Every structure is written in C-alpha cells, then in structure tokens.
Structure 1
Amino acid sequence: MQRWLLSIVLITCLASPGFAQSLVYSGGEGTGAGKHIVFLAGDHEYRSEETLPALARILARRHGFKCTVLFTVNPASGEIEPGCNNLPGTEALNSADLMVVFLRFQNLPKEQMQPIVDYLARGGPVIGMRTATHAFKIPMGSEFAKFSYEYPGPEMTNGFGRQILGESWAGHYGKNHEMSTRLELVPEEMEHPVLRGVHDVWVQAGGYWTEPLPGCTVLALAQPLQGMTPDSPPAADKQPCPGAWVRTYKSERGRTEKVFTTTYGASEDLLNDGFRRMLVNACFWTTGLEGKITPELDIAFVGPYQPSTFKFDGYVRGVKPTELTGWESPILPRPKVAE
C-alpha cells in the first residue's frame, strides 16, 4: 500500500528551463497507467487554468494516467496569466498519447508552437474544449499561419479549429451569464462509448453557434436556456445546435486519429456530473481505452475545486503552477487578503 501511495503521489514541477512551468500529476496503478495526457491551458475568459488541472487530477489519481498541465504564464514572474502567448513546456507533447487543448487566440513563439505542429503531423489524438475552435490567431506570413482560425488558404481553411476539431469560431449563440445551456444527448448515439453513463448534462456557459464539418458524429445538441438554472425554459428563438461531437483527422504522415470536441468546458461547467463524465470518457476513448469505459467510472474531484465565475480578466492573480502540486492543494488558491 505504501509503495502504491509513493508512486501515485509523485507530482512534480520539472526543473529544466523548457519545463519550468509544467505541472505533472504522475498516476500509479489504474486503467490509464502508461498513458500520458498533455493539457494546454491558455484562454482569456473561461478559466481553463482551473478546468484542466481539475480534470487532470481526476484522470491521474482515479485512473492512473500521467497528466502534464501546461499554462500560459507571465515570463517575468512565472505566474499563470491566461492567454498571454507564452506556453512553456510544450516539449512534453513528444511523449504524449493525447493532447487536450483549451487555448484562445494564441500566437506562440516558434519553440513552443513547433511541438504542437509536430504532434499533429505525427497524428496524435486531440480533445478540443470551448475556445479551442479558435485556439490560434497567427498573422499571415508566419510559418504557422495556417493554424490560425481565420486562415483563408484551401489547404487548411479556418485553421486548427475547422480542420482538426471540425469547427472554427462561428460566434456566440445567446448571452453568457444570462443563458446557460442544456446538452441534449442524441438518442441515436447513446451507445457511443463517450456517452456511457452520461445524463443530465447542463453547463453554465452560454452557447456557441456551430456547423461542424461533414463526417463529424454529433453526440450532444446544445440548447440555450432562458436562465441560469437547469430547469430554465429553452430560449424561445434559439434552436439547438451541435455542442459535442467526435471525428477523425488524417495527419501529414497519413495516420488517422480520433478527435473529441465540445464548445463547453468553462470552470463552472465542470461542476456538472454529466459533463465531467463525458470529458473523462472522452479521454478514455481518444487514448484507445473505450472498452474500459463503464457507467461507474470514478469522476469525483481530487482535492478542493473552487471554480471562479468565468469572465474576462476574472482570473486569480499571483498563482504559480507549483502551487497546484499535491492532491489537496486548492484549484485555485484564493487571493491572500491583507490584514
């Protein structure tokens, strides 16, 4: 028992320069043992810096995955700064079995972007959440311009979002903080492994309009609600549109791999058991463990999860990735109040 605890609590922030801000939750025994998931957190509004480490802890502690969480950080202070175009540690993708993307409008330095490009070129599975449909905003003329959500070229129109995830940024569909969303599971897809044990999915984020590429299999339709409670009525002028789907993409090297995309995932969305289970299932499915998905998979939070209400400029200041080590450190620590 002690040996198991020693292995499961091996959680470190790596010390080499490239990985200085990486948070690693090293799982021990479990279905995911031997699988490495890399999470990229860097949006400006929806608190990916809270959602992703909480999800990573569940997968590591409950199921044995090794989970590396990378954050956009202020290069001077080393503190988490959502969306600041500095995402150190992407070399971790060299050994990744899954990349989970929750970025927005990033224009990363070459040494940080290249491992992402290389991962896609070799054909690794991908999960995209919320703003990942517009993960990159890169000027024309850059060697990475084709990954930008606005890219017009026929070889990769609308960039990473459209060509890998199945949809780019298409605009809001309802109002955040006034309209929440019910994700209605598609009856014909209830046998899909990602939906195993999933029910009553309600999220607090407002809607995005989506029209995924042909060939995507829609698992859930997003119905905007006229209110911020699960029993709020449907918005009268808003018909449901796809809110979660799966697809495959073919890499430059000819490999075909799995993709799961949801246009939800804000910090408070993760509080919903149905949505959280869908994400855990998706991580199993994309890493080839669909046969191990059961309706009873443990999706309980590990340590205190106290999500901030998502909004622009609403992040918790002064937090370094090292403060999230250990199973019991709060996600995220509350700001210290001066006495």
Structure 2
Amino acid sequence: MKNVLPIVICLILFSCKEQKNTITKEPEMAQEVDSPKKWLTYEGADENAKHIVLISGDEEYRSEEALPQLAKILSKHHGFKCTVLFAQEEDKPGIVNANYNKNIPGLEALTSADMMVVFTRFRALPDDQMKYIDDYLKSGKPVMGLRTATHGFNFPEDSDSQYAHYSFNYKGDKTEWDGGFGRLVLGETWINHHGHHKHQSTKGMVAIGANTTGITNGISDGDVWGASDVYGVTLPLPGDSQPIILGQVMNRKGEYDESDVFYGMRPTDDEIATTNKDGKSLGDELMPVTW
C-alpha cells in the first residue's frame, strides 16, 4: 500500500497539470480565429498579370453576385488578377449589405489597378474611400461602368464631402461635373427608363459605324438581348462618346413571370414596342445601351 500511494499522488498531480494547460490554451486558440474576409481576390496567370478591381454596391441588380462571377471568368479564362469589393456595414465586416451605401472597404486596391469596373448605385462613401476612386480616375486608366453606374453616387444636398460633385444630379459650381460621375466619366447620368421596367425586354442592335471598332466582332443584331429595359439618354451624347450597341425595346407576350429568366427573350417575343407604361411613344427609336 505504501508503494501505491506515491503513484496515486503523482497521477493526481499530473491530471491537474493537464487540466491547467488546457484552460490556459483556450484563450490562445480564440485569438487565432481568422478575421472576416471583406473582399475577394482571384489570382492572375502570373505575377505580371494585369489587375482589375470590380466594385459592387447596388440594391436592385445583384452586382454582389454578378461581379464575382465575372471576376472568375476574367481570372480563369483570361489570366487577369481580380479584386471584388462589396458594400458592408463598418461593425459587420465581411457581411455583404447592398442596402448600406456608406462603406465599401478595400478601395485601396485601386492603387495597383490597371482597370476599374464599377457597378454601384447611389453610394455616399466617406472621403478617405472616395479619394482612391478620384485618384484612379486622374491616373487616366480605363473605367467600365455597368447599369446603375450612371447614377453610382448620390451625396445629400447638405453633404460636406469633397466629392459631392460625383452625385448623379450634381448642378454646382464645378460646371464640368454637371450630371456627376455618370455624365462626365461614363457619358450619361440617370435620365429615365426607356421602356416599361420589368415588362418589356430589349434587343441589342449594333450602332452604325460600331463594327469598325472591333468591339462588336462576332456580334450581330439581336445577339445581345436583355430581360429588362434600358436607360434613356440625352441626345446628342456628350464629347466624343460613341454608341456601340443600341437598345430596341420589345413587347413580351403572356403574363409577367419573375421566376422565368428567359421571359421576354423568346422567339415569340418579336413585337417591337411602340409605347411604354406611361403611354410615351417609343416607335422603333433606339437608345445607346446601358443595361
């Protein structure tokens, strides 16, 4: 019995030591949890790959879903490095909230970007984030705007932002910025819907002279067909803007079915629209396409 007692005491002490080590390790393990991922990065073909930054942030057209898919295609099939940014609340990093218009982290990626793709709607970002966009534009590098980018920014009238002139409806002292970012950079700001929104579709028709640019190689009238209407513009377009694809509004047959992604784009939907929802005549007028 005397020989067994020291062994029992040693076992008890060893057990207590193990328990103590377990307790002290738990806080260390908690500190090793990865921080939330605020943006996505798709690597390029090599270290010299051109860098494209894609900025999402709209409440209607699901840019936070479309741009990662576009980035995957650009990375996997064309070798570009791509960074995709998202709208999110400051206290909920990594959780996409397209309805929150005051924060898009990661815009510093524009400092190494070779191209910017913007798909935002009515954003009012803080000055430290807007500066990255402003600096990028001043670099003269290429920009592509999708759909709502024509009205991608909207600062309140009483805003003290240094970048309030980016607003889609800007009419201030900086006269060259009339119409904001959309008008000055992309060629047009928000004007109206050309066609009945969600009730008519739009065929893409190659503009006269556009076939000499190389952009429409392999594309014929009707090859581009969107389930939505297009945005109206003020004609003539400003500066040296050149339309490439024009939108021809088409009537849909049958009742609107939101779950049918091809609704309005079937061979039977072949009737050119003459009016939109307010009775405004459309005829066979064509609009430069901003889907």
Distance 1:117 1:83 in 2: 23
Which of 99, 116, 129 lines up with 1:112 in the alignment? 129
Specify the code of the residue in structure 2 equivalent to 1:240.
L
Matches within 5 A, 1:84-95: 84-85=100-101, 86-95=103-112
Aligned with residue 62 of structure 2, among 44, 47, 52: 47
**Residue 112 of structure 1 aligns to a residue in which SS?**
helix
Q: Does 1:168 align with 2:189?
A: yes
* Structure with the larger RCO, 1 or 2 (CA within 8 Å, 6+ apart): 1
Aligned to 2:119: 102
| Structure 1 vs Structure 2 CA RMSD | 1.9
CA offsets 1:261-290 (integer angstroms, 9 cap, x no match): xx11xxxxxxxxxxxxxxxxxxxxxxxxxx
Give yes or no for contact 1:33–1:66 (8 Å, CA) kept in 2.
no
CA–CA distance in structure 2, aligned partners of residues 136 and 182 of structure 1:
28
Q: 1:132 aligns with which of 136, 140, 149?
A: 149
Structure 2 partner of 1:67: 82
Matches of 1:188 and 1:89 in 2, distance apart? 39
Aligned to 1:58: 73
Deviation at 1:191, TM superposition (A): 2.6
Residues 16 and 97 (structure 1), Cα distance of their counterparts in 2 relative to 1, 3 Å cut: farther
Residues 256-271 of structure 1: matches in 2 within 5 Å? 263-264=290-291
Aligned equivalents of 1:186, 1:166: Cα separation in 2: 16
Match of 1:235 in 2: 273
Say whether the 8 Å CA contact 2:177–2:184 is kept in structure 1.
Answer: yes
* Corresponding residue number in structure 2 for 1:38: 53
**TM-score of the aligned structures, taking structure 1 as reference length:** 0.63
Show CA shifts across 1:34-80 (max 9, x none): 20000000011011111111111111000100010001123333311
Preserved CA contact (<8 Å) 1:180 1:225: yes
Is the aligned partner of 1:204 residue 2:227?
yes
TM-score for both structures, normalised by structure 2: 0.73
State the 4+ residue runs in structure 1 displaced beyond 6 angstroms.
none
2:78 and 2:207 map into 1 onto residues whose CA distance is 27
Match for residue 222 of structure 1?
247
2:245 and 2:219 map into 1 onto residues whose CA distance is 11
Which structure has the greater CA radius of gyration? 2
Aligned counterparts, 1:304-319, within 5 A: none
- Amino acid in structure 2 at the alignment position of 1:223: Q
Q: Deviations over 1:176-206 (max 9, x none)?
A: 3211110101242113122122241101122
- What is the aligned-residue identity percentage? 42
Asked whether the equivalents of residues 103 and 132 of structure 1 are also in contact (C-alpha less than 8 Å), the reply is yes
1:152 aligns with 2:168: no
- Could you tell me which runs of 5 or more consecutive residues in structure 1 were left unpaired when the two chains were aligned: 1-14, 244-262, 265-339
Distance in 1 between residues matched to 2:273 and 2:196, nearest whole Å: 11
**Higher mean C-alpha displacement, 104-113 vs 76-85:** 76-85
Q: How many residues align?
A: 227
> Structure 2 unaligned runs (5+)?
1-33, 253-263, 276-281
2:127–2:161: 8 Å Cα contact kept in structure 1?
A: no
Alignment-derived partner of residue 192 in structure 1: 213
Q: Which moved more, 1:218-227 or 1:90-99?
A: 218-227
Q: Deviations over 1:205-255 (max 9, x none)?
A: 222111331421111111111111243211113221111xxxxxxxxxxxx
Deviation, 1:175, is: 2.2
Between the aligned partners of 1:83 and 1:119, the Cα distance in structure 2 is 25
CA 83–112 in structure 1, closer or farther in 2 if over 3 Å, else same: farther
Q: Residues 189 and 219 of structure 1 are in contact (CA less than 8 Å); yes or no, is this contact kept in structure 2?
A: yes
